[in-house]
Structure 1
Amino acid sequence: MLKVIIDYDDVLNDCNQAAIEKLNKEEGTRFLLSDIHKWGITRTLLDKRIEYFKDPLFMSTVPLRKGAKKFIKQLSKRYEVFIATSVHPDCAGVRVNEIIHEFPCVRPENILIGQRKDLLMADVLLDDAYHNICSSLVKYPILYKRPWNEHITGIPKIESYEEFLNTLLILDRNKRPTYKNIFILVGPSASGKSSLVDKLMQKDCNISKTISYTTRPPRYRSEPYNFISVEEFNQLKKTNFFVETTEYKGAFYGTAYSDLEQFRYIGKKLIAIMDINGALNVKRHYPDNTSLLYIERPKEDCIRSILQRTISIDEIVSRISSIDEEQKNKKFCDYIIQNNKDLNNTVNEILHIMEDK
């Protein structure tokens, strides 16, 4: 049975939303939750809300998020659930009593209080604070999407309780897909994913790749993407055109349902390159068809390739700094492929996986 830790503040309740509403009422301001662009101090009047988190009376009035009770109840039926809270010491008693009352399916001894989430051991952690995710010792740390972490990319992130429950089903299956015809390559920048896709398609005419939609500008002529505006992307998303969408380094990416459905029924094998969130989204929709392959390349080789690219200094720094974090994503994948010096050996290894039923 998986041990699952769920953060309390802003995952199960609406702590910051309640604080902003109180601040607006007292100060006559018009702050929105989306105005919290980062974790911690903003050096604006918005910081005054942080003082409310030390007030037991205020903390006792913070409402739960819609569906939180049902979520924890569903979770408790399959897994051992822990609730963790970094509440101020003055509010610890109020918080424990609240959790016991609102979530009776969670044993009192499974209520964890304290700031040091980096010391907690479990299988899965769901938290809205990026620093808790990146320092976590748990096997599968997952970020809960909130305005203050929207800029974070390259790590598993979910935005609904249902999405989290479906992700746990994937992790809990403990087996590889039974009928494999969708293969997604995941890995850090410059790990060789594009070169592998090109070689695989040259060697096997039964392999095709998806043409993703993106809002980022083209880097060179004939680049294999459908380039559209942010407005067009959002409109397609509203019509459920995409099976998965993700944001990566300020641009949106999406894969059309029609692409995946087409290959499922004509018997071809589909290969795609996605970040970990796009890959997990596809696997949630097609768990028995989708294999995630993590492409691992020596860090120094990735850095060397990144430095040779004609991209901005900011993007170079961003790509290099994300390598270590993205390496943690291999735990979410079905296969880990070593892409060292011989590209042909790597291609043959992937072909063997594709052919193995």
Structure 2
Amino acid sequence: MRTYSFEIDFDDVLAPFCGIAVQLANEENPGLDATINDIKSWGNGEDGSKQSIIAKYYDDERILRKQKISDEAKTFIYKLMEIGDVYINTAVSPKYAGLRYEQIAEQLPEFPLENVILTFSKQTVKVDFQLDDGGHNILKSQAKYPILMRRPWNSHLSGILAVNDYSEFFILVDQIINASSKKVKPTVPSVLALIGPSGCNKNEIADRLSADGFAMRIHSVTTGVASENHDKVSEKEFSSLKFISHTVYAGNRYGIPKDAIEKALASGLNAVIPTDITGAIAMKKEYPVVLIFCKASHEFMIDKILSKNLDNEAIKYRWLSMEKELQNKELCDVVVNSERVEDATNVIKNLFLQ
């Protein structure tokens, strides 16, 4: 059996960092009332913003001394060590290197210290899986599967592998390792997660499966503009809903509502939803999910994108994310040629007859 390698970030993946900076900033700046959600990007933020005040504490030694690896994080690391070789990669100033080694040795006594990597150049490390909250590290990663740990400062990033917690990471790793070897035998009711780049006919296939009575179509909700895949709700409505997965893009919030999925499954119907790989993995935590990749040619997808009433920025985003989303094909349980909607829906239906 093959041994896999994992590179795990320390700050804000294994132990809190930004949260402690927020705490110090609030204690020493009366009236600031900052929260972790005020850190909207990587870096110092705009002058005078809450983020810029919080950022002044990033090199404060008190943060390092307050950092504690939670019991959940310890269990995560030790469980990961049963799967493969684990490396903790931490971008800490050389003057604090000794302190960081002491922290790991004391809080993770069974972890081999020779597997602790101190570097600001995380893109030079080559492993199978990397888990990091820094979007810049993930985008430049040399790992075969770079995975983003969702945090407020990276919520604007999309089109990449991402998880919200340790359990989702394990589900994603299992999906990656076993997708090519597992024979899918779905049962009714299941969630049919349609995955693929913009323009690959995901929505058309979902609509046809719904029209045929084979599945209930699930729409995501957004505080932005309504579309063929997103129903618009107010900020207040969005905050009141329970989601399987949610994110922020271009200032708008998006989420997959739990009640819609559970209503479909409780009625004995499949639920079908066009989504990204992150949403599909999040759903796997709670429901039986079949990941179906909708495959179409570049020419077909580009023609579909250009035929929509989209502004230039939206077209550019879909074009740039296309190549990364195509890589998700190998993570899915089933691949269907999606250019002909009727043929694709028949293939999906036949999965349940095997």
Q: TM range, normalised to the smaller chain?
A: 0.7 to 0.9
**Alignment CA distance shift 1:271-1:247 (3 Å):** same
1:44 alignment partner, one of 34, 44, 47 = 47
The residue number in structure 2 matching 1:114 is 119
Q: State the distance in 1 between where 2:219 and 2:342 align.
A: 26
1:87 alignment partner, one of 65, 89, 92 = 92
**Cα-to-partner distance string for 1:172-201 (whole Å, 9 max, x where unaligned):** 555244334432111121122122334456
Contact 1:33 1:147 in 2 (8 A): yes
The residue number in structure 1 matching 2:105 is 100
**Alignment CA distance shift 1:84-1:308 (3 Å):** same
The residue number in structure 1 matching 2:285 is 284
Contact 2:132 2:138 in 1 (8 A): yes
The residue number in structure 2 matching 1:58 is 62
The residue number in structure 2 matching 1:309 is 308
The residue number in structure 1 matching 2:324 is 325
Q: State the distance in 2 between where 1:11 and 1:316 align.
A: 33
Query: Could you tell me the TM-score, scaled by structure 2's length?
Result: 0.81
Q: Percent identity among equivalent residues?
A: 27
**Alignment CA distance shift 1:115-1:41 (3 Å):** same
Q: State the distance in 1 between where 2:148 and 2:201 align.
A: 26
- 3-state SS in 2 of match to 1:247: strand
The equivalences for 1:1-357 within 5 A come to 1-26=3-28, 28=30, 30=32, 31-44=34-47, 46-47=51-52, 50=55, 52-54=57-59, 57-58=61-62, 60-64=64-68, 66=70, 67-174=72-179, 175-181=182-188, 182=190, 183-200=192-209, 205=212, 207-216=214-223, 219=226, 227-237=232-242, 242=243, 244-247=244-247, 249=249, 250-257=252-259, 259-260=261-262, 262-263=264-265, 266=268, 268-286=269-287, 289-339=288-338, 342=340, 345-352=343-350, 354-355=351-352, 357=354
Contact 1:11 1:127 in 2 (8 A): yes
Contact 1:59 1:94 in 2 (8 A): no
How far 1:50 sits from its partner (Å)?
5.0
- 3-state SS in 2 of match to 1:285: coil
Q: State the distance in 1 between where 2:93 and 2:133 align.
A: 17
How far 1:306 sits from its partner (Å)?
1.9
Larger deviation: 271-280 or 38-47? 38-47
Q: State the distance in 1 between where 2:27 and 2:225 align.
A: 46
Contact 2:138 2:146 in 1 (8 A): yes
**Alignment CA distance shift 1:270-1:18 (3 Å):** closer
Contact 1:18 1:62 in 2 (8 A): yes
**Alignment CA distance shift 1:356-1:156 (3 Å):** farther
* RMSD (Å), alpha carbons: 3.2
Give, as a single letter, the amino acid of the residue that structure 1 aligns with 2:217: T
How far 1:300 sits from its partner (Å)?
4.4
**Alignment CA distance shift 1:27-1:184 (3 Å):** closer
**Cα-to-partner distance string for 1:25-81 (whole Å, 9 max, x where unaligned):** 4555624322211112324254465565556x4354132254333332333344432
Contact 2:203 2:274 in 1 (8 A): yes
How far 1:84 sits from its partner (Å)?
0.9
Contact 1:125 1:142 in 2 (8 A): yes
Contact 2:199 2:301 in 1 (8 A): yes
- 3-state SS in 2 of match to 1:133: helix
Q: State the distance in 2 between where 1:195 and 1:332 align.
A: 22
Larger deviation: 296-305 or 108-117? 296-305
Structure 2: give runs of 5+ residues left out of the alignment: none
Give, as a single letter, the amino acid of the residue that structure 1 aligns with 2:317: S
Equivalent pairs, count: 342
Contact 2:6 2:86 in 1 (8 A): yes
**Alignment CA distance shift 1:95-1:178 (3 Å):** same
Contact 2:338 2:344 in 1 (8 A): yes
Q: State the distance in 2 between where 1:186 and 1:161 align.
A: 22
Give, as a single letter, the amino acid of the residue that structure 1 aligns with 2:65: T
Give, as a single letter, the amino acid of the residue that structure 1 aligns with 2:245: T
Contact 2:194 2:275 in 1 (8 A): yes
